[in-house]
Amino acid sequence: MKKIIVLFLSIYAQFAFAQNSEMSLVFIGDVMQHMPQIDAAYDSSSKTYNYDSCFVYVKPILQNADVAIANLEITLAGKPYSGYPQFSAPDALARGLKNAGINYLVTANNHSCDRGKSGIIRTIKVLDSLGIEHTGTFVDSLEREKKNVLLIEKNGIRVAIINYTYGTNGIPIPKPTVVNIIEKEKITNDVTKAKALRPDKIILVVHWGNEYERVPNAFQKDIAKFCFEQGADIVIGSHPHVLQQFEYTQRIDTLDDMKVKENIVVYSLGNYVSNQRDRYKDGGAMVKIVLQKNLLGQTKIKEQGYFLTWVNKAFVNGKNQYYILPASQFENTVGKLDATALEKLKLFTEDSRSLFKEHNKSFTEYKFDFVKNEWRLE
């Protein structure tokens, strides 16, 4: 009888997942604006800025996702605009992100305080005015209490997103504004509050690690492990400006009746767009995670993979332009890129795939099928 019951439950669970709902999430790395990028976005005839062309090649991927979320590693502090070391980009960048399909942003990073209190507040106001939901920085502690856990619901699936940074480049966080800093006690409290909202998955987006290092350091590994122990399901990292490994694992959750729990850690998504042109720094990846919920209310990770992206800096109509390219669609084509750009793109993909082959765990690449005109997970 016991075997019959177990068999029945197994068959029913399979049926339940066949009658499922799904949510697709795409996570995007560092969105940066150095002065050459700001100059490239300027239209001297209209005296306005526009970023739509920057995202034109990745827009189909972004708009096909239920949730697309990026790390906004600049402030929208108004004029004078500036690049490194204290960033302030035109508001048009946020409009360009939204037009491309990026509908959520995290704002806690080492450049959050680049323009002080007014920069933090104005960035928040601009995003609010555009209807872009966000978390990570707040005008005061009351707003943090209300908005720290960004709850997103699509297709009957709920995810909670919380965002932290390791620091703010030594710039004190101006009161009363708040920037979420990585602190274990804070993470524990925040995850507990997130659990009370009964999400299907809890996702922490963290700004951490050593710049330009292609493997995670001990701090990253310790924090990821700690986040999972507190009840987080997915940890997404940024800051190193180069790619680091992605891992899907399963573990026994001692806090939840010894159930098998799925975890994903993305140590670094690299640069999504910047003016950094050196090897390893001129690209990144978009990570896609598909969640599936069955009739029993159980939510699992159906698939996980990545799109390699590379930034092409091209001279067009008398000035430089920046285009984020899905690498798989451009690396084997003729005539779309000049010889120098194609060589750099191929070097980036070779480096990235070599790194991931050595270090990734159960994470593979989405590649474009030109015959079927669709992306497929390898």
What is the share, in percent, of the chain residues with pLDDT greater than 90?
89
Q: Assign 10 a pLDDT band (cuts: 50, 70, 90).
A: low
The C-alpha atoms of residue 146 and residue 60 are separated, in whole angstroms, by 33
Half-sphere exposure of 268 (CA within 13 A, CB side): 27
**Higher pLDDT pick, 360 / 13:** 360
CA angle 48, 135, 158 (to 5 degrees): 120
Q: Are 62 and 102 in contact (CB under 8 A)?
A: yes
- The 10s digit of each residue's pLDDT in 250-309 is 988 776 767 789 999 999 999 999 999 999 999 999 999 999 999 999 999 999 999 999
For the residues 198-224, what does the mean pLDDT come to?
A: 98
pLDDT value of position 1: 53
pLDDT on residue 231: 96
Mean pLDDT of 43-63: 97
Q: What is the pLDDT of residue 3?
A: 55
Q: Average pLDDT, stretch 120-136?
A: 98
pLDDT at position 330 is 96
Instruction: Extract the tokens encoding 186.
Output: 């804070």
Residue 132: what pLDDT?
A: 98
| pLDDT > 70? residue 19 | no
pLDDT at 206 over 70: yes
Tens digit of pLDDT for each residue in 216-242?
Answer: 999 999 999 999 999 999 999 999 999
Contact call for residues 137 and 123 (beta carbons, < 8 A): yes
Given the structure tokens 């604006």, which residue do they identify? 33
| pTM of structure | 0.93
Q: Measure the CA–CA gap between 54 and 67, rounded to whole angstroms.
A: 20
Q: How far is CA 351 from CA 38, 281, 345, 348, in A?
A: 29, 11, 10, 5
> So what's the pLDDT on residue 7?
55
Q: Are 274 and 311 in contact (CB under 8 A)?
A: yes
Kindly state the average pLDDT of the residues 194-219.
98
Question: pLDDT tens for residues 309-353?
Answer: 999 999 988 889 999 999 999 998 877 899 999 999 999 999 999
Distance CA 97, CA 52 (A): 8
Question: What's the chain's average pLDDT?
Answer: 94
Q: How far is CA 338 from the centre of its chain?
A: 29
pLDDT digits (tens, 9 = 90+) for 70-113: 999 999 999 999 999 999 999 999 999 999 999 999 999 999 99
Tokens of 13: 């669970």
Q: Transcribe 164-186 into DSSP letters.
A: EES--TTPPPPTT-EE-B--HHH
Confidence of residue 4 (pLDDT cuts 50, 70, 90): low
Report whether pLDDT(115) > 50. Answer: yes
